[in-house]
Amino acid sequence: MTPWMSSGLIYASGLALTAGSVTLIYITTRTFNFAVASMATIGFYVSYTGVILYGGLPYKYYPFVIIIGSIVGLICYYGLNRHLLRRRAAEITLMMSTLGYDLVLLSMIQMYTDFLTKTYKLFPRRVTMNIYDFELFGEKAAAFILPFIAIVFLMGLHMFLTKTKFGVAMRATIENPVLAGASGINSDRVYLVAWVIGGGMAALGGAFIAMAQTGTPVMGMFIIPLMFAGAILGGLGSLYGGILGGFVIGMTEYAGVFYLAQRFGPWVLGYRMGIPLMLMAITLLIFPRGLAGIPLVKLFGLLAGKKRGVNA
């Protein structure tokens, strides 16, 4: 693998999960979830705590990462989102309320790091997680394992959404809440499950991202523009679009930085976020509905047409 690729794969898998989380919660509850930032950070600290206190590989602790993330999502739904949805709050209100929740979570993360520092004499404010990884084929093992876990997770999610009655009911509610309600589907439960899955996804994504970048209490806050960018690039309407969007954003950031720094010098590193955000802006200018809105059939037709020298 080229040098940027292994870190890029790790990071992009994490962004795919977090962007998927943002999308899932948005398409179910109309809530653009700012708390995804701290949910991701929490995921990282759960895996860090496991490794530090109990040893072993970080992967071992991912089930706990998902569980804790789900609980954080559940609390956000029951404590906040549900009451606002019942009152048919505007989207802006829903969004701002999660910003408040994010700040609460952030303070709790800060307190937790202080607790780790004082009690265990650790340095939890700048953590390099990949030193706990092992090597596989001369690469970081995470570059293989994390995309694999992400794919398994997403396939499970896909099975749930297409093969189970409740999963289909969730899709029905996403598409047409009124008709779903009239069919007897309890939207309350659908929203709860969305927050639980979304919380787990965001936390897992955060644990992934910390395998490629330095883990800090504010890492989520720094990456959240890219999580949102991934969701927006995906068109904000389709879960799979959001996941793909997050992945594309992550890969472009790493690839872009690498090649541009080679070409123009290391000062490019300071502007690394600009690269995927520009990609998002350009994509949206051409395809206003994001990746999900790209008419693949037409696109292929266009390419085929070009080959034949036809002006499509």
Partner 1 sequence: MLIVKNLNSGYGKLQILFDLNIEVPDKGLTVVVGPNGAGKTTLLCSIMGIANIFSGEIMFNNIPLAGELTYNLAKKGISYVPQMGNVFAELTVLDNLHMAGYLMPRDEAKDKAAQMTDIFPVLKKFILRKAGTLSGGERRMLAIAMGLMKNPKLMLLDELSTDLAPIIAEKVMMEVSRLRDELGITILMVEQMAKRALEIGDTAYLLVSGEVRYKGKADSLLHEPELCSMYLGIKPPADKKNSYALPTPEEGSE
Q: Interface with partner 1 by CB under 8 A: which residues? A: 165, 168-169, 171-172, 175-176, 178-187
- Whichever of 229 and 291 has its CB closer to partner 1, that residue is 291
- Whichever of 82 and 125 has its CB closer to partner 1, that residue is 82
Q: How far is CA 116 from the centre of its chain?
A: 26
User: CB within 8 A of 159, min separation 6: which ones?
Assistant: 167
Please give the sequence-ordered ranges of beta strands (E in DSSP) within the chain, or none if there are none.
135-136, 139-140
Question: No. of H helices and E strands in the chain?
Answer: 13, 2
Please, what is the Cα angle at 264 between 261 and 269, to 5 degrees?
35
Decide: helix, strand or coil at residue 83: helix
- Whichever of 162 and 214 has its CB closer to partner 1, that residue is 162
Smallest separation (angstroms) from partner 1 to the CB of 164: 11
Smallest separation (angstroms) from partner 1 to the CB of 119: 47
Answer whether 34's CB lies under 8 Å from 268's CB.
Answer: no
- Whichever of 117 and 162 has its CB closer to partner 1, that residue is 162
Decide: helix, strand or coil at residue 215: strand
The Cα 207–Cα 212 span in angstroms is: 10
Smallest separation (angstroms) from partner 1 to the CB of 187: 7
- Whichever of 110 and 183 has its CB closer to partner 1, that residue is 183
Neighbours of 294 (CB within 10 A): 15
The Cα 42–Cα 203 span in angstroms is: 6
> Which residue type occupies 164?
T
Task: Report the chain's terminal Cα–Cα distance, integer Å.
Answer: 37
- Whichever of 27 and 275 has its CB closer to partner 1, that residue is 27
The Cα 176–Cα 294 span in angstroms is: 23
- Whichever of 113 and 238 has its CB closer to partner 1, that residue is 238
Smallest separation (angstroms) from partner 1 to the CB of 172: 5
What is the token pair recorded at 132? Answer: 């706990």
Smallest separation (angstroms) from partner 1 to the CB of 3: 42
- Whichever of 184 and 288 has its CB closer to partner 1, that residue is 184
Smallest separation (angstroms) from partner 1 to the CB of 175: 5
Smallest separation (angstroms) from partner 1 to the CB of 237: 10
The Cα 238–Cα 297 span in angstroms is: 18
**Which 8-state DSSP code applies to residue 127?**
B
Smallest separation (angstroms) from partner 1 to the CB of 52: 45
